[in-house]
Amino acid sequence: MIERNKLEAHATLYPFQDIQTALTMDREKSPWYQSLNGTWKFDFVPKSEDATTDFAQKGFDVSGWDNISVPSNWEMKGYGTPIYTNVTYPFPAKPPYILRDDPVGSYIRDFNLPDNWKNREVILHFGGVSSAMYVWVNGQKVGYSQGSRLPAEFDITDYLLPGKNRLAVQVYRWSDGSYLEDQDHWRMSGIHREVYLVAQPKVDIYDLAVRTDLDAVYKDAELQIRPRVKVTEDTNTKGWTFNAHLYDELGKEVKTDTMSMPVNHIIHERLPQRDNVPFALLKAHISNPVKWSAENPYLYTLVVTVKDAGGNVVDATSTHVGFRKIEWNHGVFKVNGRPVKLYGVNRHDHSEVNGKAVTRKEMLDDVLLMKRFNLNAVRTSHYPNDPYFYDMCDKYGIYVLDETDLETHGLTGYFTNNTDWTYAFVDRAVRMVERDKNHPAIIGWSLGNESGVGPNHAAMAGWIRSYDPTRLIHYEGAQGDPTSPDYIPITSKEYWKKPYDANPTDRQWVDVISRMYPSPTLLEGLAKSPWIHRPIVMCEYAHSMGNSTGDLKKYWDVIRAHPNLMGGFIWDWIDQGILEKDKNGKPYWAYGGDFGDKPNDGNFCINGIVAPDRTAKPALWECKHVFQPISVSPVDLNNFDFTVVNRQNFTGLEPYALKWSLLQNGVEVQHGTIPTPACAPGENARFHVPVDQAKLKRDAEYVLNIGWDLAEKTLWADTGFEIAWNEFILPGHEVKPAAVASGKVTATESDNDVTLSGKHFTVVINKEKGEVSSCKVNGKEQFVSPLRPNFWRVPTDNDLAGGNHIFRDMKVWKDAVANMTFQSAKIDDNQSGVVCTYTLPVDASTLKVHYSAESDGTLQVSAEIIKGDNAPDLPRFGFTMEVPATLTETAYYGKGPWENYWDRKSGAKLALYQTPTSDLQYKYVRPQENGNRSDARWFALAGKNGGLMVQGEPKVDFSVWPYTAADLEQAKHIDEVPVRDFYTVHIDYKQLGVGGDDTWSAQAIAHKPYRLSAKSYQYSFTIRPVKSIAQAEKLY
């Protein structure tokens, strides 16, 4: 049993009293709508056998019960335990039985009906309840429902009494439906979406389906309407009419063909014996309507009414209409005849304070953030979202792949190949499609996630295909078509001789070839495959767990090169951390296992490109740049001639203002605006930037930044908001090395040390350890701890994936410096420095470090590593030290302002930045390597009494933390990382890229160009004392 007395699914509609109110689409203005959200009485028991059985009676005393807010998850209110698990069922898997304690929550809500609701049908609506519920009204059992992410509605008219009424709901945490809800997210319970009542007339518009079709040139449209009118008593509807009116965004009615028909024609529709049932009961030709797309999400409003024989409005309702056409032919996905790429992300419902009970504000914040960061698509992984989320996607312009609430990962294909579960599979698909069918944002229906493949999926696809042929059908699991001559069974040895995508013979009932986590190379192989004639999409890719999302640009270089690649959906949108406080009141984000939940999958729910508080993680800035809709490349950089490529599909460049700025050594010295060139969608145009070349210096570095801002305010951003940018380093200009300070430097050697000294400084190098154990300028120690070589980094989540490759393959480097063997120390002929040579305990690798000094106290460091023939890749090659916490300000000329890495720095601009030193770190939910800044020409840390400047020769990467690497590596949560009275500084040649094709296999590691795999590396830098940040800027 999956339901009892539950009403049939339909589109999200609200009854209104007249056309004018219906046009507002504001349900709060309807006299026939009443919210039941708010405070309910609540009783919780951890075992179903202990649940109360008589609480539904109207006179039951609930004064001793707790209060709980609805919607909510009861685990977030202190009842029971949140459970995070990815694949493993949270109960012993023996379908259909639940073989563990089944917590139950009992809810009571008293309500009064308005007097004017008499003689109307009262419908009780639950937006989402996890996982199953029984419903009573005034002590009478109304019905049962299961399925956690879709509405359940009941007609409660016959159960109501005059005056006060009592609604009772008993919710079970687990049901046999939970076997179909094994998604990778927090398992939480309760009434987690809104509850409300609507009062329908005896003859009401029960459902409304709307489609749009465009002509062959995508200009004019046909509006197609199929209403369902429900008569709940013996009403004579002769002479009654159904009427439709279309309005534009200004509220002006659009002139159309007459859109009216007798209600009896709808009620008594005759269906054909053969051929398909025609969709449209009403049609209207619309001359050149504004087309809906993610770029221009123009919405019309359709208001429909039922009028009685006297012309009085009996019922009115409304829905938005977006005129658009989805196609997928010749392997290319198109909207309104134009090829479209999906810059998408997977999104789970998640709130750091409310769990799965996401507020409308949080939904809107998500959509706004997506728009501002150049994302244009979302997959509702792995269940239908609240209708309001789709409303926002319609309004602001986000393409949606709507996914059925279906995943059986823990038992793979058991259920889809079992006829006992066919109805449950199809019911979930039907209810999703029926509810969401009118949203123009939805481009396709997904049959769920990671549930094997079999006849039950085919049944879902068959119903959807017949009901809605206007959208594509997606299911990643539909791999392998036994009817194809190229079919290779997965059980065959031949299958495993090729990459998994070498068998692209997906079932014919899906319209796209969908894959998870292919590498860019495998993705390109799919695109070139002669056997694939359908569009190709990555339903999941770029697994963004922790410090991740490396080499995203490579994926998009491949995608843009092949018309049959639709794009993809990053995994995933938000870190699913839950805001908690430790015993000292320090906040942190909890993940799997932190609540004693068993089974659990730890921090595998922390995969987002936004943090749990919905702030942008560094990876999101990379997405914004890689996804930007405008790109500029040089035609002749010396003469400042450029080409702009308009990556948009429907919009010219007119909405954008073109700006430019020229930076000299990171500081703006010229800037201006340029008339925006005419450039049609998908085309390119040339333009010139009027840089005053006469003012350029030969001995300075120049960066030209070209940007595109919104010329006018939009729904989602203000005028001047930056959409896209590109930067270019001008050739023929180079900063001259700083002059060497004059003055004498003396080198002296003892058994353990070499000391370099001048008039105002001493530098002591410990020969055995290869470190600068002391650096004094004017008698003041500059370092808190020695400057020393470093080959290790605190592991990222990707580093720990694939069998812990950083520990399996690279662990030998962690203690290499501590265990290296001193070979020799040779003082320079001019007495200003010393070369120390060491043998590293990694395949006899060699480290040479040249320390030298200038008379002003500048310390020069040059290091070279020569790896043994069988030495593994380096996690990093650099130096580290600790400096006083009094150095509270940092400036740098490098990539910023946010954290960036070797394979994730396209979205960071080269400029001069200044920031509090403590802000250079980034606090990942699970502490790990963080805060790197790439390509720094120099950086300086200073306080009231001066500080230090580090200059690369020519560049270094660096990071600064208020804790040690050991502190970071030992911590499991951000509150466990102490704040020290010093800063740890890393000065690196490079470190391993962050990677992230996935976070569980060998593909987690950075792509080969971003690994330290070469035989040898060499780099140099200087450290000099400075009085202030301002002095450091002048020294470069």
What residue type is 294 in one-letter code? A
List the structure tokens of 983. 């800063």
List the structure tokens of 610. 């936004």
Among this protein's residues, is 450 annotated catalytic?
A: yes
Say if CB 555 and CB 565 are below 8 A apart.
Answer: no
Q: Could you write out the DSSP letters of every residue in 164-228? A: EEEEEEEEES--GGGGGB--SEEE--EE-S-EEEEEE-SEEEEEEEEEEEE-TTS-SEEEEEEEE
Integer CA distances (angstroms), 999 to 409, 601, 610, 646, 803, in order: 18, 13, 17, 34, 10
Q: Could you write out the DSSP letters of every residue in 876-893? A: EEEEEEEEETT--EEEEE
Q: In what order do the strands lie in the sheet with 38-45?
A: 3-4, 140-146, 132-137, 164-172, 104-112, 38-45, 66-70
Distance from C-alpha of 250 to C-alpha of 961, rounded to nearest angstrom: 54
Say if CB 373 and CB 343 are below 8 A apart.
Answer: no
In a 10 Å sphere around its CB, with 0-12 CB exposed, 13-18 middle and 19+ buried, how is residue 94 labelled? Answer: exposed
Say if CB 796 and CB 785 are below 8 A apart.
Answer: no
Say if CB 474 and CB 453 are below 8 A apart.
Answer: no
For residue 485, give the DSSP letter.
Answer: T
Integer CA distances (angstroms), 783 to 741, 851, 941, in order: 22, 16, 12
Catalytic residue among 194, 450, 524, 1033: 450
Catalytic residue among 121, 476, 540, 622: 540
Q: In what order do the strands lie in the sheet with 338-339?
A: 326-329, 332-335, 338-339
Residues in the chain: 1036
For residue 426, give the DSSP letter.
Answer: H
List the structure tokens of 993. 């890229």
Integer CA distances (angstroms), 878 to 314, 765, 809, 822, in order: 77, 17, 19, 18
Residues paired with residue 186 on neighbouring β-strands, in sequence order: 84
The helices-and-strands tally (H runs, E runs) of the chain is 12, 61
Q: Which residues, other chains included, contact 115 with Cβ-Cβ below 8 Å and sequence gap of 6+?
A: none
Q: How many CA atoms lie within 13 A of 1035 on its CB side?
A: 27
List the structure tokens of 289. 């309507």
| Residue given tokens 């695109």 in the structure block | 527
Q: Would you tell me how many other CB atoms lie within 10 Å of the CB of residue 474? A: 25
- Closest to 905 in 3D by CA, of 989, 993, 799: 993
Q: What angle do CA 953, 964, 803 make, to 5 degrees?
A: 90
Distance from C-alpha of 538 to C-alpha of 560, rounded to nearest angstrom: 14
Q: Would you tell me how many other CB atoms lie within 10 Å of the CB of residue 914? A: 12
Element containing residue 473 per DSSP (H, E): strand 472-474
Distance from C-alpha of 518 to C-alpha of 526, rounded to nearest angstrom: 10
What residue type is 239 in one-letter code? G
List the structure tokens of 438. 């009118």
For residue 378, give the DSSP letter.
Answer: E
Mode of pairing for the β-strands spanning 442-446 and 399-403: parallel
Among this protein's residues, is 580 annotated catalytic?
A: no
Just list the catalytic residues: 450, 540
